[in-house]
Structure 1
Amino acid sequence: MKKYVLLTGASGGIGQAVACNLAAKGYHLYLHYNKNEQSIKSLIDSLEPFGGEYLPIHADLTETEGYKSICSQIFSLDAIIHCAGNSKYGLLMDLNQQDVESLLNVHVLSPLMLTKELLPKLFSKGSGNIVVISSIWGQTGAACEVAYSAAKGAQIAFVKALSKEVALNGIRVNAIAPGAVETKMMDGFTEEELDRVSFEIPMGRLGQTDEIARCVAFLLSDDSSYITGQVLAVNGGWYI
């Protein structure tokens, strides 16, 4: 039986790794993106050998009603992976309201409303999965990333609450909280700063996107059939 997954933020480093992993396992994908259309085109080209259906969907989830353009393009659905996100580094007192609203929209409001609108499609099948890519900072907080940490913490609360609400409908809801992962979000740091972070991590290195992708695949699989409402920390032992 065909299984369809909505993946937001599919043009990002983690999103692309998740897409490749799931396509290799036979999933059909709705691939959301905002600004990086070329990245999505290249991703779809790379997925073609797997023989699935891969539909690109454009939407700006930093906008209050951006999620609506996704809902209208979703038909059959078995899982939602909320991977879209952005970050803003700096002191809280230096952030403007637009920055904060953008962070909250893409990390909190859009996933919540998108899930609300699409839950009936999962209910109709009597099973399904929702996976939220949160962050280690949603668990422990980070100076100079206060708004981002607050948004990621809200994602974790969302997962814990929703998992209780939909469990009897056969829907499992979980989060993954990556630590420092080698993606473009790390490009703003110097090599010295990255070396310092690696030194703080017990495993002595940054995470890889495929390591996050394998965890997503696990949470979608029957191997995790009795797991819901959990936060899987994938961080090399950092801040445990």
Structure 2
Amino acid sequence: MEYECKWDVGETSARADPDRFVRNEVFDRHLERISPVKAVSQSTLYVDDDENTLAEAGHSLGCIINHGAISWVSWLRLKQTIQWNGRRDSLEIGERVPPENLGRLINDSDVFPVSYAYRHGLVKGRLAPTGVVNQVRYKRNGYFKGLDRGISYSVDLVEFLSPDGETKVIDRYTCLEMEVNESQGEVLGRLEELARDVDRWLGHGRESRTKSQLAVRAASGADTG
């Protein structure tokens, strides 16, 4: 399971200076043993059925391709939202696949994320591309102070492209994400404490929309703002 809090930070300095943004003192107040900032570049091709059933329900199925030194690593990943209450709790299922086979495998029932989506009624028909995201993540890892439990957080600089293969950027989006992978009450409590501090720092509430929802909206010509 993944437990995530997210904010739209497009109106802040995050896009102009993501490295500095992710090193804000708000994180130092709650965390220790924080790693240096690492920039990771990747692309995600989101797929869905004709009715965008996954995106409408807050789920996503994406083909994730890394860039640079780890470009040989790619994944098909399903994220099933269990609940959203200011924090998104999601079941995440992934399978590593060769990048050159991604297009063929999005409807292959032998691939576990795809078969899971069909078996659990998360999709209603054949899958096809619905949106494309290119992003650079400025990521750090740390541990809650006095608690040997980890957290990851990042500023994501996102560009939306058409799923038709065009390379023109059709919209942009910037978000701050924090996530943990442990369900213990103390861990989730500490995540919420940090999230409330971030709420106060940013001066606004949390993002409820997923990147797949925004990618579909951008591809359809709708405003993602």
TM-score normalised by structure 2 residue count: 0.32
TM-score normalised by structure 1 residue count: 0.31
Report 1 or 2 for greater relative contact order, CA contacts < 8 Å, sequence distance ≥ 6: 2
User: Would you tell me which structure has more helix in proportion to its own residues?
Assistant: 1
User: Would you tell me which structure has more strand in proportion to its own residues?
Assistant: 2
